[in-house]
Chain A
Amino acid sequence: MNNFKELEQEQTDKFENNINSIKTKIDSNLGTLGVFTQVIDVYFSKVINYVVSLSGGSEEKLLNRSNNKK
């Protein structure tokens, strides 16, 4: 291990607390992102159907069409 790598290792050991606190923040970001994705997953198709029915289209037809495709 050369002196540059030793310096890198020294910094990694010295700032372990900072690295742990960054991980906590990332986990919290990922949690928020996950919830947001789930909300989109669950409600987005419903919003689309609602918009379609508002504009005069039939929600049932839309559902049948997507079921037939599957």
Chain B
Amino acid sequence: MINLLYPMLATDITKKVSDEDLVSLYLETQNVAYFNIIYKRYAGKIFGKCLSLLKSESEAEDATQDIMMKILMNMAKFSGKSRFSTWIYSITYNYSIDYLRRKKKDPSVYIEDYLENVDVEDEVSDSFMLEVSVARLKKILNDIPSGDRTILLMKYQDEMSIKEIGGILNKSESAIKMKIKRAKQKFRKTYKENYKEEY
């Protein structure tokens, strides 16, 4: 299989081979070319997440470098129980959350459940979340606390299930549902504050 795939490296393997196959091939051959494809697929996404969470280009660069090295060194630990993308994003989110905790940049990341009056009955629809323009989405995500931003990115950008998010944040499914609800309310509140005239 390796011999068959190897010539394709020069052509267009990037779209033809699944992440999981690339991991197996890398582990079998230790050929960095396979890691380079994984890098090409995910580095931008990892950098974007780090930038959204850490809010600093240079810190996001360092974080992305550390995370990619971690992925490379721990590739053998990928069990295949989850999607490879979920595994990579869990490393990314955990790294960023730990980094923010260490820097104590944003208390909402490390305070279990920050105390805030939110109406748990007031559900914000997914269509509201998904109809916001990209420019506004960027602004609102930048303005809300990191904890809320993280969970919204997991749900809407990475399309993770409640169970997957719970696994990464080490929380029960009901706790995650509540966190998503609160994050969406925070998002809508911030949207209203920024674009009063239209709301």
Residues of A at the B interface (CB closer than 8 Å) are 2-8, 10-13, 15-16, 18-19, 21-23, 25-26, 29-30
Contact = CB atoms under 8 A, between A and B. Distances in A.
Given A6-B134, A11-B44, 6 more contacts: A3-B134, A5-B157, A12-B44, A15-B48, A18-B64, A22-B43
29 contacts: A3-B130, A3-B131, A3-B137, A4-B130, A4-B152, A4-B153, A4-B156, A7-B48, A7-B138, A7-B157, A8-B45, A8-B157, A10-B134, A11-B44, A11-B48, A15-B57, A18-B47, A18-B61, A18-B64, A19-B43, A19-B47, A22-B47, A22-B68, A23-B43, A26-B65, A26-B68, A29-B69, A30-B32, A30-B72
A13 B44 CA distance: 8
Contact of A26 (B44, B69, B132, B138): B69
Contacts of B99: none
Interface string B46-63: 011001100001001100
Contacts of B130: 2-4
B78 interface: no
- Chain B interface size band reads 20 to 34
A interface SS class: helix
Contacts, number: 71
B88 to A, nearest CB: 14
Nearest to A23: B39
